[in-house]
Amino acid sequence: MREDIEFEADGATLRGWLYTPDDAEEPVPTIVLAHGFSAVKEMYLDKFAEAFAEAGLGSVVFDNRNFGESDGEPRYEIDPYQQVRDYRHAITYAETREEVDADRIGVWGTSYSGGHALTVGAWDTRVDCVVSQVPLTDGLYNLRRLVRADIIGDLREQINEDRRARFRGEDPSYLPVVSEDLLGDAALPTQDSYEWFTETKEKRAPNWENEVTLKTIELMSEYAPKDHVEEISPTPLRMVIAEEDHLAVKDAAFETYERAREPKSIVTLDGGHFDAYTEGFEEASTAAIEWFDEHLGP
């Protein structure tokens, strides 16, 4: 069963869905989840929540602030640490629902929010289990891997000029999330990013918008979930990493897993970053369900 929900979070109303198993007669273990970089909940989070419900798990799914149906200004700006705080607001909201067993709460994140799941798992003692799927674990390292060396200097100067303009009270600058021209301006300058976002917008998420503030890139470069992964223990952690992931680069994810303390588990998927939502969905969702069932079950 799916219900539209909304809750307050640091002055913004965040909106999403509460999923519960159809046959639930008592409070159920519940997973809190949001999407990755600029994506909205219609971009396959409903599929994951449906799979969780079939396995007896509830889900609190929400759009990140400034995106989708959630409030927040400036629109299309991503502050990763604010998104982490919003995960924690969502946990607090989940605790208020009679359908939720507040003593059995998990967090799940994917891509950018895969890093958020790591960070929330390290900081919030209410979290009983963590699944981090195809995660970004080091924003600066990722930026250097995605942006060519002969271009990154120009990007840094654009960021500096945007900061000066905002100091003068001017509107923030924006850039596309993806571009058909892989040498053009884009936050995610890869072919698979362009194909997945544009195709998914057409098929599932017409409300997704292809832009983020330039400040978003600066904030990403300051974000390093890997620095917190050792603090997750003793909360159980499973990382799901795609073998051919060159977007949230796999080597950084594998290194982050090695830094984590027990109890932990790793699942590797065939394919690239976006296969976790499509061709590899069954394997990715099953990996999460099995981990949650093991650690949040009766």
Residue 147 has pLDDT above 90, yes or no: no
Residue 148 has pLDDT above 90, yes or no: no
Mean pLDDT for the chain overall: 96
CB 94 within 8 A of CB 102: yes
What pLDDT digit, counting tens, does each position of 29-57 carry?
999 999 999 999 999 999 999 999 999 99
Strand pairing partners for 6? 15
d(CA 124, CA 238): 17
CB 269 within 8 A of CB 241: yes
d(CA 119, CA 150): 32
Q: SS3 for 127?
A: coil
pLDDT band at 173 (very low <50, low <70, confident <90, very high): very high
Which CATH code fits 2-138+224-296? 3.40.50.1820
pLDDT of 298: 65
Strand pairing partners for 129? 106
What pLDDT digit, counting tens, does each position of 241-265 carry?
999 999 999 999 999 999 999 999 9
What pLDDT digit, counting tens, does each position of 59-109 carry?
999 999 999 999 999 999 999 999 999 999 999 999 999 999 999 999 999
Q: Which of 14-28, 73-87, 148-162, 236-250 shows the lowest per-residue confidence on average (mean pLDDT)? A: 148-162
* Mean local confidence (pLDDT), 119-148: 96
* Mean local confidence (pLDDT), 165-176: 96
pTM over 0.95: yes
Domain positions in the chain are: 2-138+224-296
